Amino acid sequence: MSGQAQSIAELHRAVINYRGGAEGLVAFTVEAPVREPLRLLAAATSPSAEVGLDVPAFFWEEKDGPTWIGLGSAFERSLTPERGLLGLQSEFVDGLRGLETVHVGRPPLWPVRVFGGLAFEHEIPADSPWSAFGAGRFVIPRWSYVRDRGAAWFMLVLDARRGIHAQADQVRREGEIWFTALHTPWYSSRPPVVSVRRPNRETWTQAIECIRDRVRKDLVGKAVLTRDTHVESATRLDTASSVWRLVHEPSGSVRFAFAPAGRPGPSFIGLTPERLVRLTDQELVTEALAGTAPDESQAADPNALLASTKDREEHLHVVRFIMDRLGPVCAQLDDGPPRIRRLRHVTHLTTPITGRLSASLHVLDVVKALHPTPATGGVPLGAARALIGSLERRPRGWYTGPIGWFDAAGNGDFWVALRSGLIHGRTATVFVGAGIVRDSIPDNEWSETLLKERSVLAGLGVVG
């Protein structure tokens, strides 16, 4: 029996032989062949895939960290005005309580994870391109494939309330599909892009002048203005191929993709350099990332960005906000002087911030305290959001929202969904933005957005 068939048989046998008394979720794990995880993303999102299922798919890969692909849903909740983030969190805490795990062979290096994200806005209009994502959505995948440190596992999560044994035949059928997809050769080809459209530059300039006027009148201290670039291809854009072409930043990044409806619907992809918060046993890591210069100008004068009054002001707004928000819940909170962080096309000012919570909190508690920071919203937040809404005139959706994962212990890692795009059929929308303060120059901010969008445009197959 091949290794592929052996893995399927062992997992199926574990489900049939289950004799536990779980009343909720049960996770089964089995070692799997080490293959390219994007093959599974292609199977879940590409209509041309030889095998696959139309199920939600989530891809997550931190540079030098494990690669996860989640397929289907064992347990999920969406953010609603009635439920709210804390209500959603409570339902996942209850859902994960008593999670039973059955390991077939060597256990995986990581526990079951919940994946998802939140929109920048509190509500998403029904006619928005983001309607399939909603204001927030979190999923415990039915199937997960995890590749890390030269090994790989499949995780299967079943709801005991549906009867574990009653799901055995379905598990076998699904397992055969995903294991076959994992072994099916997958090729990425560059799509025939026919157009790239950006908004009117004069409109962009007028919006920046409006923000600067509000800053001068002390109505806001900073506001982040975003814009779109629209890409059209002669053929359907492929989610897995686009993610494959996103190249990790040397200084750290996360590649992600979320397709809430599988093949029929849209996919949100990105390569973000900005962590919102990582929480591990009440130890937290975050950062202030604001203030930008072209990478070539930084190479010519390494101290230029640190010496820039405009960029230091923009950066300080973010540092103060994070320290003020986390200070009341931390027994220890430390920051340092700003430093330079070089990315592939731009250079940022960054201030690493670490701390230890004074009481036990879930990572979503910290996300709620931090989102949105002035790096994506502005100062003061209420006035900045109102101004942003009047100028952008379209929902940002999950762009600039927190995206990431958490586990049953309340640990987790969330990043800000920057350098990203929304794919639907033959079209994609790439999102970029810039922080506007008193001394912002419209032409410079426009040039900054052109640099920021290059990585995602390359992922979509745009050359040059």
* Phi, psi (rounded to 5 degrees) for 69: -130, 120
Instruction: Give per-residue burial for 433-458: e unless 16+ CB within 10 Å, then b.
Output: bbbbbeebebeebbebbebbbbbbbb
Q: How far is CA 118 from CA 137, 274, 350, 404, in A?
A: 7, 15, 24, 9
At residue 357, the 3 state secondary structure works out as strand
Q: Is 307 exposed, middle or buried (0-12, 13-18, 19+ CB in 10 A)?
A: exposed
Residue 78 CA neighbour count, 13 Å, CB half: 11
Distance CA 44, CA 456 (A): 21
CA 411 from chain centre, in angstroms, equals 16
| Residue in 222, 249, 445, 448 annotated catalytic | 222
**Cβ neighbours around 217 below 10 Å, total:** 8
Distance CA 243, CA 320 (A): 34
Distance CA 53, CA 47 (A): 10
At residue 127, the 3 state secondary structure works out as coil
Distance CA 43, CA 190 (A): 18
| Residue in 249, 274, 448, 453 annotated catalytic | 274
Distance CA 398, CA 133 (A): 8
Q: Is 222 a catalytic residue?
A: yes
At residue 381, the 3 state secondary structure works out as helix
Task: Give the CA diameter of the chain.
Answer: 74
Structure tokens at 10: 């062992």
* Peptide bond between residue 372 and the one before it cis (omega within 30 degrees of 0): yes
- SS3 labels along 58-87: EEEEECCCCEEEEECCCEEEECCCCCHHHH
Provide the β-strand partners of residue 288.
Answer: 351
What residues act catalytically? Answer: 222, 274
